[in-house]
Chain A
């Protein structure tokens, strides 16, 4: 177990999540991709804490914030999907491109 091994795991999870977020049509599947990307942040944060700065708890606090962000992201994402579904019967990203610039 080294810092590099943990960060490689984080990089792999991040890339898989990015692929999902970019390629999925369904908005809820897109959110699964985002969750995987935050998952990678959790691994990287924990590894940075353990291997670089274990004396202070800042790394642990960062992981705690990332876990919270993940839960909030999911709650708001589902609320937006539900609102979109109610208003327009839309659940795929291609039909929700109103803000495309």
Chain B
């Protein structure tokens, strides 16, 4: 049963991922990406990662709502009124990504993966919480500072005033 669900989610995730670059509206592309993320969140729940799976689902719903606004702001082909190609160097991109796919898949199926070490804890969420509040605490500290730095620098970049309050232009 889980295997069937996994393959359905996997095919849907890749299918929606392809749709992101196939649909001609950037707003639709945003929702295709959201669907792809929801499928990936589903596969994580299949791996008993309930907390991280739900976290991905919730975060991506919020993120794609914000993204949809930006997509509409910067839409190249609003409502399909100006049919145009949004691509450049299509052949090169296809060749490179195809080669990367072949190399990665070949690696996945030929590498001799190590044996599974240990068993999953009864409650992976609890194990994660104890890790980030214990041995992995520096990771959480760095992530926290990075989020703060991003908030400050994103606002500084996006506001409509440079140094000296726009006097330099």
Contact = CB atoms under 8 A, between A and B. Distances in A.
A81 B155 CA distance: 12
A16 B128 contact: no
A54 B104 CA distance: 23
Interface string A72-83: 101110111111
Contacts of B108: 4, 7-8, 11
Contacts of B100: 14-15, 18
Contact of B131 (A61, A86, A93): A61
B14 A19 contact: no
Interface size class for chain A?
A: 35 or more
Given A22-B97, A32-B29, A61-B136, A9 B10 contact: yes
B150 A72 contact: yes
A58 to B, nearest CB: 7
A39 B37 contact: yes
> Contact size class for B?
35 or more
Interface of B: 2-3, 6-7, 10, 13-14, 17-18, 20-21, 26, 29-30, 33, 36-37, 40, 43-44, 46-49, 52, 55-56, 59, 63, 66-67, 70-71, 74, 76, 85-90, 92-94, 96-98, 100-101, 104-105, 108-109, 113-114, 116-121, 124, 127-128, 130-132, 136, 139, 143, 146-147, 150-151, 153-155, 157-158, 160
In order of increasing CB-CB distance, the 10 nearest A-B pairs are A55-B118, A15-B101, A23-B93, A11-B104, A57-B131, A22-B93, A19-B97, A54-B120, A79-B154, A79-B157
